[in-house]
């Protein structure tokens, strides 16, 4: 109840400071996600599209069984265009695939990073992890065990990223401040402290109100700001028939611009806006004016 009352007060306070809807456009750092790597002959065209949409960074999903040479080509081409590349790893099954009671069995992705780094000078700019433990069936039957395994695997990724001299970025749901670990600490606080940067999967199309972007990100935003940590917000553009209110699919560019402008003019703006995913965002921009 105490946490709820604090949140309610914070939301009310921020509503007073919320920028007007007609606020002028403010520069925004744009990041995006790509869930598959293009064929080698299409990499240059895709990077050109990213550059044309003024993307500063792309989170490129890695298939650990895939051809590493294409990732080297992509990194080289993106860097030539001034675009950062973070390698994105995201298999929820890694969380519960325990090798021992003390350390998760994540040799495949960690070994992939090590091998890739040893083979080329075309290094990524960082490591990104999006595991989403709540997608596992065990989340409803033994949540505490899943959270413990989740923390161990993220710690393993952090150790590998540190060894490679790369920053670690995590994707988190906006509601992880309501979930606690074995010590009673909100998982979002633990993750924000662990990573160099966190992106909240906020997925909202309006800024104000308790269920708007400002409301759902508020607790983590205040924690990150008070601990000098970097926080970004993600917006959704894919078609979601069951939850159309959280995606910009089928909505107007005016609505997008309004949300982005309000967000960037807020008292504590995010470090970046992450457009999820790039193909959906590209289709949205091509279909709107």
Q: How far apart are CA 122 and CA 101, in angstroms?
A: 35
What pLDDT does residue 95 have?
A: 87
Please confirm whether the linkage preceding 254 is cis (ω < 30° from 0): no
pTM: 0.91
Domain boundaries, the chain: 28-287
Closest CA to 35 of 13, 11, 4, 61: 61
Please report, to the nearest 10 degrees, the dihedral formed by the alpha carbons of residues 159, 203, 28, 124 taken in order.
Answer: 30
Distance set, CA 118 to CA 68, 76, 123, 168, 279 (Å): 12, 16, 9, 19, 31
For domain 28-287, the CATH class is alpha beta
Residue tagged 């401040």 (tokens): 177
Helix, strand, coil percent content, the chain, rounded in steps of 5: 50, 15, 35
What pLDDT does residue 213 have?
A: 98
Task: Give, for all 289 residues of the chain, the pLDDT tens digit.
Answer: 444 444 444 544 444 445 544 555 678 999 999 999 999 999 999 999 999 999 999 999 998 877 899 999 999 999 999 999 999 999 888 888 765 455 555 558 888 999 999 999 999 999 999 999 999 999 999 999 999 999 999 999 999 999 999 999 999 999 999 999 999 999 999 999 999 999 999 999 999 999 999 999 999 999 999 999 999 999 999 999 999 999 999 999 999 999 999 999 999 999 999 999 999 999 999 999 8
Helices and strands, number each (H, E), in the chain:
11, 8
């Amino acid at each position: 109840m105490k946490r709820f009352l604090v949140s309610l007060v914070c939301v009310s306070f921020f509503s007073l400071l919320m920028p007007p809807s007609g606020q002028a456009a403010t520069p925004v750092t744009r990041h995006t996600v790509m869930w598959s790597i293009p064929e080698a002959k299409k990499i240059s065209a895709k990077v050109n599209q990213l550059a044309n949409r003024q993307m500063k960074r792309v989170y490129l999903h890695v298939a650990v069984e895939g051809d590493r040479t294409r990732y080297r080509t992509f990194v080289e081409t993106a860097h030539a265009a001034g675009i950062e590349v973070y390698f994105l790893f995201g298999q929820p099954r890694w969380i519960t695939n325990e090798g021992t009671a003390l350390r998760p069995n994540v040799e495949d992705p960690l070994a992939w990073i090590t091998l890739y780094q040893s083979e080329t000078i075309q290094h990524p700019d960082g490591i990104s992890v999006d595991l989403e433990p709540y997608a596992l069936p065990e989340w409803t039957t033994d949540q505490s065990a899943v959270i413990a395994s989740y923390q161990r695997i993220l710690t393993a990724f952090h150790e590998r990223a540190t060894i490679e001299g790369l920053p670690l970025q995590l994707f988190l749901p906006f509601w992880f401040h309501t979930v606690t670990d074995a010590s009673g600490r909100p998982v979002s606080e633990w993750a924000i402290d662990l990573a160099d940067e966190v992106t909240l999967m906020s997925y909202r199309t309006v800024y104000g109100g308790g269920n708007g972007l400002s409301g759902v990100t508020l607790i983590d935003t205040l924690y990150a700001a008070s601990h000098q940590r970097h926080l970004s917000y993600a917006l959704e553009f894919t078609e979601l028939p069951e939850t159309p209110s959280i995606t910009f699919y089928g909505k107007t560019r005016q609505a997008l611009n309004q949300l982005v402008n309000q967000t960037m003019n807020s008292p504590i703006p995010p470090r970046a806006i992450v457009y999820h995913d790039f193909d959906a965002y590209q289709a949205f921009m091509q279909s709107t004016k």
